[in-house]
Structure 1
Amino acid sequence: MAGSSLCSLMAVALLACASVVSATVHTFNFTTGWVDANPDGVREKKMIGFNGQWPVPDIHVKKGDRVQLYLTNGFDDGTVTSLHFHGMFQKLSDGNRNEIDGPSMVTQCPIVPGQTYLYNFTVADQVGTYWYHAHSGSQFGDGMRGAFIIHDDDEPFHYDEEMVIQLSDLYWKPYYEVTQEFMSRYNPTGAEPIPQNLLFNNTLNATLDFEPGKTYLMRFINSGLFVSQYVALEEHELTIVEVDGVYVKPNVTDLLYIATGQRMSVLVKAKEHDPGRNFALMQMMDEVMLDVVPPELVRNRTHQISYNRNYEAAESFIIDDFDSAAEEFYLAPLDDIKLLDHYDTQITFNLSLNNLGDGVNYAMFNGITYVHPKVPTLTTVLTSGELATDARIYGDNVNAIVLQKDEIVEVVVNNYDSGKHPFHLHGHNFQLIQKSPEYRPEADYPEYDQDKITVPYNESAPLMPFPEYPVLRDTVVLAPSGHIVIRFKADNPGVWFFHCHLDWHLTQGLGAVFIEDPLSLQESETLSDNYKQLCSAAEIPNRGNAAGHTDDWYNMEGLPRQPRPLPSGFTAKGYFAFIVSTLVGLLGIYTISDYGLSETISDDQAVYDTLKGVLDANGISY
Structure 2
Amino acid sequence: MIRANKGDQIVIHVQNNLGDFTTIHWHGIFQRGTTFYDGVAGQTQCLIATGTTFVYNFTGGEQYGTYWWHSHFRSQYVDGLRGALIIHDPKDPYLNDYDEEFVMTLSDWHHEESESLVKKRMAKGYDGYNPIPDSGLISGRGRYDCSKAPQGSKCVPDNPLAIYVIEKGKRYRFRVINTSAEAPFTFSIDQHPLRIIEVEGENVKPITINKINIAVGQRYSVIVNADKEVNNFWIRATIVKQCIHVTPETINVNSSLNYKVTGILRYNGAPDAYPTTQEWDEKILNCRDVDHNLLKLNPPRSPPVTPTDNFTLRITFDNIDGVGHALVNGSPFKPEVNDPTANKLMYGGDETPSMLDPDQNAFVYDTQNGSVEINLINENMATHPFHLHGHNFYIMAHGPGTVPDPIQFNLVDPAVRDTITVAGASWAVIRYTVILIILVYGLSIVILRYFSQIQWHVEMGMVGQLIERPSELKGDPIPPQVKSICPLYNDDDNNNNTAKKRSLEVYKNYYKRSDVPNHSRHVGYKFMRGSAY
**Normalised by the size of structure 2, how large is the TM-score?**
0.82
The percent identity for this pair of structures is 29
Aligned-residue offset at 1:370: 0.6
* Residues matched between the structures, number: 461
1:153 to 90, 100, 111: 90
Alignment match, 2:441? 496
Q: Which residue of 2 aligns with 1:433?
A: 396
| Equivalences for residues 82-121 of structure 1 within 5 A | 82-92=23-33, 97-121=34-58
Q: Does 1:162 align with 2:101?
A: yes
Which whole-Å CA distance do the structure 2 matches of 1:527 and 1:136 have between them? Answer: 20
C-alpha change, 1:258 and 1:562, in structure 2 (3 Å) is: same
Partner of residue 271, structure 2: 310
The whole-number CA distance in structure 1 between the counterparts of 2:411 and 2:51 is 50
> Aligned partners of 1:153 and 1:538: how far apart in 2?
48
- From the superposition, tell whether residues 469 and 296 of structure 1 become closer, same or farther in structure 2 (CA, over 3 Å): same
One of 161, 186, 189 as aligned partner of 1:230: 186
- Match of residue 5 from structure 2: 62
Deviation at 1:295, TM superposition (A): 6.7
- In structure 2, the partner of 1:275 is 229
- Partner secondary structure for residue 18 of structure 2: coil
Q: What is the CA–CA distance in structure 1 between the aligned matches of 2:490 and 2:47, rounded to whole Å?
A: 10
Aligned equivalent of 1:196, options 125, 134, 139? 134
Q: Which AA in structure 2 matches 1:496?
A: Y
Which of the residues 293, 302, 305 maps onto 1:338?
A: 302
Superposed CA RMSD: 2.5
Partner of 2:487: 536
Contact 1:361 1:508 (8 Å CA) reproduced: yes
SS in 2 for 1:380: helix
Letter of the 1:498 counterpart: L
Which residue, 21, 30, 52 being the options, matches 1:80? 21
Pick aligned residue for 1:127 from 43, 61, 64: 64
Q: Distance in 1 between matches of 2:27 and 2:324?
A: 27
Q: Does 1:296 align with 2:256?
A: yes
What SS does the corresponding residue of 1:162 show, helix, strand or coil? strand
Note the C-alpha offset of 1:522: 2.4
After superposition, the Cα gap between the structure-2 partners of 1:327 and 1:535, relative to the gap in structure 1 and judged at 3 Å, is same
Change (3 A) 1:186 1:538: farther
| 1:400 corresponds to 2:362 | yes
SS state of the match for residue 194, structure 1?
coil
TM-aligned CA distance change 1:370 to 1:329, over 3 Å? farther
**Shift in alpha-carbon separation, 1:234–1:537, aligned structure 2, 3 A:** farther
The answer as to whether partners of 1:110 and 1:538 remain within 8 angstroms in 2 is: no
Q: Secondary structure of 2:69's partner? A: strand
* Residue 403 of structure 2, aligned match among 441, 451, 457: 457
- Do residues 472 (structure 1) and 416 (structure 2) align? yes
Distance 1:195 1:328, change over 3 A: farther
Question: Alpha carbons of 1:386 and 1:425: their partners in 2 closer, same or farther (altered >3 Å)?
Answer: same
Following superposition, the deviation at residue 72 of structure 1 comes to 2.2
Report 1 or 2 for greater relative contact order, CA contacts < 8 Å, sequence distance ≥ 6. 2
Cα distance in 1, alignment partners of residues 343 and 193 from structure 2: 49
CA distance in 1, matches of 2:181, 2:411: 31
| Structure 1 residue 420 corresponds to structure 2 residue 358 | no
Report Cα offsets for 1:224-264 as digits up to 9, x if no partner: 11111110111111011100010011111000111111111
* Structure 1 contact 248–334 (Cα < 8 Å) conserved: yes
Q: 1:561 to 1:366 in 2, by over 3 A?
A: farther
Question: How far has the Cα of 1:409 moved from its partner?
Answer: 0.5
Structure having the higher Rg: 1
Q: CA deviation at 1:109?
A: 0.2
Q: Is the 8 A contact 1:112 1:537 kept in 2?
A: no
Judged with a 3 Å threshold, the aligned counterparts in structure 2 of structure 1 residues 362 and 133 are, in CA distance, closer, same or farther, namely same
Per-residue CA deviations over 1:44-85 (Å, capped at 9, x if unaligned) read: xxxxxxxxxxxxxx0111112111111122123xx1100111
Query: Is contact 1:239-1:267 (8 Å) kept?
Result: yes
**SS of equivalent residue, structure 2 residue 487:** helix
Residue of 153, 165, 174 corresponding to 1:218: 174
State the 1:209 CA deviation.
Answer: 1.1
Match of 1:581 in 2: none
The alpha-carbon deviation at position 387 of structure 1 amounts to: 5.5
Q: Is the 8 A contact 2:194 2:209 kept in 1?
A: yes
Q: Which residue of 2 aligns with 1:265?
A: 221
Q: Where is the helix percentage greater, Structure 1 or Structure 2?
A: 1
Pair 1:326-2:282 in alignment:
no
Matched letter for residue 434 of structure 2: A
Q: Of 170, 187, 190, which residue of structure 1 is paired with 2:126?
A: 187
The Cα of 1:164 is off from its aligned counterpart by 0.3
Would the alpha carbon gap of residues 332 and 467 (structure 1) be closer, same or farther in structure 2, given more than 3 Å must change? farther
* Structure-2 separation of matches of 1:70 and 1:360: 38
Q: Contact 1:111–1:538 at 8 Å: present in 2 too?
A: no
Deviating more after overlay: 397-406 vs 130-139? 397-406
1:399 partner letter: N
What is the CA-CA distance between 1:322 and the residue it aligns to?
2.7
Distance 2:216 2:174 in 1: 17
